[in-house]
Structure 1
Amino acid sequence: MENDCRPLLSAEQAGESFSHRGSTDSLDSRAKRPFYVEPRNIVDDEPQERVSAEAAVLNSRVHYYSKLTGSSDRLLSPPNHVIPRTEEIYIYSPLGTAFKVSGKDHLTKNPSIITIFAIWNTMMGTSILSIPWGIKQAGFTLGILILIFTGLLMLYCCYIVLKSPKAILICPYPNTDTEENHTIGTHYISTGGNDTSDVNSFEHWWSKTNTVPLFLVVLLLPLLCFRSASFFARFTFLGTISVIYLIVLVTIKAFRLGLHLEFHWFDSTNFYVPELRLLFPQLTGVLTLAFFIHNCIITLMKNNKHQENNVRDLSVAYLLVGLTYLYVGVLIFATFPSPPLSKDCIEPNFLDNFSSGDVMVFVARTFLLFQMITVYPLLGYLVRVQMMGQIFGKHYPSFFHVLTLNILIVGVGVLMAKFYPNIGSIIRFSGATCGLALVFVFPSLIHMISLRRQGALGWPSAVFHGFLILLGMTNLVAQFFM
Structure 2
Amino acid sequence: MIWNTMMGTSILSIPWGIKQAGFTSGIILILLMGILTLYCCYRVVKSRQMIPLTDTSNWEFPDVCKYYFGSFGQWSSLLFSMVSLVGAMVVYWVLMSNFLFNTGKFIYNFVHDINVTDIVPGTNGSNKVICPGAASDQPPQNRSVMFSSGNRTGFELFEQWWDKSQTVPFYLIAVLLPLLNLKSPSFFAKFNVLGTVSVVYLVFLVTVKAAHLGIHLEFNWFTENEFFVPEFRILFPQLTGVLTLAFFIHNCVITLLQNNKNQENNVRDLSIAYFLVGLTYLYVGVIIFASFPSPPLSKECIEQNFLDNFPSDDIMSFVARMFLLFQMMTVYPLLGYLARVQLLRQFFGNAYPSLFHVLILNLAIVGAGVAMARFYPNIGGIIRYSGATCGLAFVFVYPSLIYMISLHRAGQLTWPALIIHIFIILLGLANLIAQFLL
For the criterion TM > 0.5, the same-fold answer is yes
Q: Cα–Cα, structure 1 residues 222 and 261, in superposed 2: closer, same or farther, change >3 Å?
A: same
**Partner of residue 159, structure 1:** 42
CA distance in 2, matches of 1:196, 1:369: 30
Per the TM alignment, residue 318 of structure 1 is displaced from its structure 2 partner at its CA by: 0.6
Per the TM alignment, residue 204 of structure 1 is displaced from its structure 2 partner at its CA by: 5.5
Q: Equivalent residues in 2 for 1:315-464 (5 A)?
A: 315-464=271-420
**Partner of residue 27, structure 2:** 144
Letter aligned with residue 480 of structure 1: F
Select which of 132, 157, 161 maps to 2:15: 132
Letter aligned with residue 35 of structure 2: L
3-state SS of 1:443 partner: helix
Q: Equivalent residues in 2 for 1:273-292 (5 A)?
A: 273-292=229-248
Select which of 135, 140, 160 maps to 1:185: 135
3-state SS of 1:320 partner: helix
1:278-313 CA-to-partner distances (Å, cap 9, x unmatched) read 000000000000001111111111111222221111
CA distance in 2, matches of 1:149, 1:196: 51
Q: Cα–Cα, structure 1 residues 310 and 207, in superposed 2: closer, same or farther, change >3 Å?
A: same
TM-score for the superposition, normalised by structure 1 = 0.69
Letter aligned with residue 157 of structure 1: C
Letter aligned with residue 135 of structure 2: G
CA distance in 2, matches of 1:344, 1:403: 42
Per the TM alignment, residue 326 of structure 1 is displaced from its structure 2 partner at its CA by: 0.4
Residue pair 1:388, 1:396 contacting (<8 A) in 2 also: yes
Residue pair 1:259, 1:336 contacting (<8 A) in 2 also: yes
Q: Equivalent residues in 2 for 1:25-424 (5 A)?
A: 118-167=1-50, 169-170=120-121, 184-185=134-135, 206-424=162-380
Per the TM alignment, residue 185 of structure 1 is displaced from its structure 2 partner at its CA by: 2.4
1:358-401 CA-to-partner distances (Å, cap 9, x unmatched) read 11111111111111111111111122222322333322222222
Q: Cα–Cα, structure 1 residues 196 and 369, in superposed 2: closer, same or farther, change >3 Å?
A: farther
Residue pair 1:128, 1:290 contacting (<8 A) in 2 also: yes
Letter aligned with residue 406 of structure 1: N
Letter aligned with residue 268 of structure 1: E
Residue pair 1:186, 1:353 contacting (<8 A) in 2 also: no
CA distance in 2, matches of 1:316, 1:232: 27
Letter aligned with residue 341 of structure 1: L
Q: Would you tell me which structure has more helix in proportion to its own residues?
A: 2
Letter aligned with residue 430 of structure 1: S
Residue pair 1:286, 1:424 contacting (<8 A) in 2 also: yes
Per the TM alignment, residue 212 of structure 1 is displaced from its structure 2 partner at its CA by: 2.1
Q: Which moved more, 1:161-170 or 1:142-151?
A: 161-170
CA distance in 1, matches of 2:379, 2:418: 36
Q: Cα–Cα, structure 1 residues 333 and 440, in superposed 2: closer, same or farther, change >3 Å?
A: same
Per the TM alignment, residue 197 of structure 1 is displaced from its structure 2 partner at its CA by: 7.7
CA distance in 2, matches of 1:465, 1:418: 41
Per the TM alignment, residue 264 of structure 1 is displaced from its structure 2 partner at its CA by: 1.0
**Partner of residue 478, structure 1:** 434
1:405-443 CA-to-partner distances (Å, cap 9, x unmatched) read 211110110000000000000000011001000000000
Q: Cα–Cα, structure 1 residues 197 and 276, in superposed 2: closer, same or farther, change >3 Å?
A: farther
3-state SS of 2:437 partner: coil
Q: Cα–Cα, structure 1 residues 282 and 366, in superposed 2: closer, same or farther, change >3 Å?
A: same
Residue pair 1:170, 1:186 contacting (<8 A) in 2 also: no
Letter aligned with residue 24 of structure 2: T
1:219-273 CA-to-partner distances (Å, cap 9, x unmatched) read 1001001011211111111111111111111111111111111111111000000
Per the TM alignment, residue 196 of structure 1 is displaced from its structure 2 partner at its CA by: 8.1
**Partner of residue 111, structure 2:** none
Residue pair 1:436, 1:476 contacting (<8 A) in 2 also: yes
Structure 1 residue runs of 5 or longer lacking an equivalent are 1-117, 172-182, 188-193
CA distance in 2, matches of 1:435, 1:196: 51
**Bigger radius of gyration:** 1
CA distance in 1, matches of 2:149, 2:371: 29
Letter aligned with residue 229 of structure 1: P
Q: Cα–Cα, structure 1 residues 196 and 427, in superposed 2: closer, same or farther, change >3 Å?
A: farther
Q: Which moved more, 1:194-203 or 1:354-363?
A: 194-203
Report which structure shows greater RCO (CA 8 Å, sep ≥6).
Answer: 2
Letter aligned with residue 427 of structure 2: L
Query: Taking every aligned residue pair, what percent have the same amino acid on both sides?
Result: 68
CA RMSD of aligned residues (A): 2.1
Structure 2 residue runs of 5 or longer lacking an equivalent are 51-118, 123-132, 138-145
